[in-house]
Amino acid sequence: MAATDTLTEGLLEEADIPAAMALSAEAGWNQTSADWQLMIREGRALCLREATGRPVASAVALPLGEQLGWISMVLVTTAWRRQGLATALVQQCASWLEAEGRYSLLDATPEGQKVYERMGFEKIADITRWQHGQPQARCPEAVKEAETGDLAVITKLDEAVFGAARPRVLRNLAARGPRFVEGPGNGFVLGRRGRRALQIGPITASDDATAIRLLDAALSTASGSVFIDAFDVQKRFAAALEARGFTRQRPFARMARGRPAPFGQVSLAYAAAGPELG
């Protein structure tokens, strides 16, 4: 009998959040309990459990809009790695989403990209995580803090740019971190405070200058480390990050299975919400 035969498959529940946090903390990831709660409530959070009931592996399939599904939180504790658990869970997430008529997306590390390519995923965008230990900025006058009434405009713009509606995700982010808008639909930035750093994103803007002003608005709220997952195609935005002292931490490949790129208005996307949310 293989060692993996002793594991049982199930769904994560909110009572499992401390154990799920242990998995993401072991990997050095930035998620908080609030992130896990959001994904468990809105998605299908698979896990594999030891006989004691402790989750030792996880993956989340998060339906977004009518046609898209996001796969994330692919984690395996150290003792159970290199046994195919992550691949099996990702395949189950993708199969479940596709059975619902959705195509699957994810953000992959370079190591994960090789695995997902063998599963039929194709790269559609390059992303870089930028980091800073203590950025400083002032909020530009053209930008204002988003109010409750702005969420409808933010949601509509995000759907057009991201390619799927995710209002509950956006409302969750808007309640947990920086939230700024510029003009009547020119752009917005959201963010959330993570376990290790403030994660800024998504940033959607009509042009480079607007995106940079929104960046500075979000940075004006920062105290401590900041992560931003920026789309590599936005060269002027990357230059602005460098000018503010950000350094590259790691690359991600945005990958899709089941539908060719492009989707949404990719030219208006400057930063992602993070690999767990798209």
Whether residue 236 sits in one domain with residue 190 = yes
Instruction: Give Cβ neighbours of residue 110 (< 8 Å, ≥ 6 apart).
Output: 251, 253
* Residues 69 and 152 occupy one common structural domain: no
Q: pLDDT per residue over 175-197, tens digit each?
A: 999 999 999 899 999 999 999 99
Within-domain flag for 277: no
Same domain as 133, residue 115: no
211-228 pLDDT, tens digit each: 999 999 999 999 999 999
With beta carbons less than 8 A apart as the criterion, state whether 206 and 186 touch: yes
Specify whether the CB–CB gap between 105 and 255 falls below 8 A: yes
Q: Identify whether 228 is part of a domain.
A: yes
Residue 91 in domain: yes
pLDDT band (50, 70, 90) for residue 260: low
Asked whether the beta carbons of 63 and 69 are under 8 A apart, the reply is: yes
**Residue length of the chain:** 278
Share of the chain above pLDDT 70, in %: 98
Domain annotation covers residue 133: yes
| CATH number of 29's domain | 3.40.630.30
* Same domain, yes or no: 244 and 212: yes
pLDDT per position as a tens digit, 44-72:
999 999 999 999 999 999 999 999 999 99
State the CATH number of the domain containing residue 195. Answer: 3.40.630.90
Structural domain of residue 31, as residue ranges? 3-121
Same domain, 141 and 117: no
In a shared domain, residues 22 and 94: yes
Q: Which position has the token pair 């919400």?
A: 273
The pairs formed by 259-262 with CB atoms below 8 angstroms and a separation of 24 or more are 259/67, 259/103, 260/122, 261/122, 261/124, 261/125, 262/124
Task: Mark whether 177 and 227 lie in a shared domain.
Answer: yes
Boundary residue ending a domain (60, 95, 121): 121
Answer with the one of 74, 90, 121 that is the final residue of a domain.
121
Structural domain total, the chain: 2
Whole-number percent of the chain with pLDDT over 90: 94
Domain boundary among 72, 94, 121: 121
What mean pLDDT comes out for the span 137-158? 96
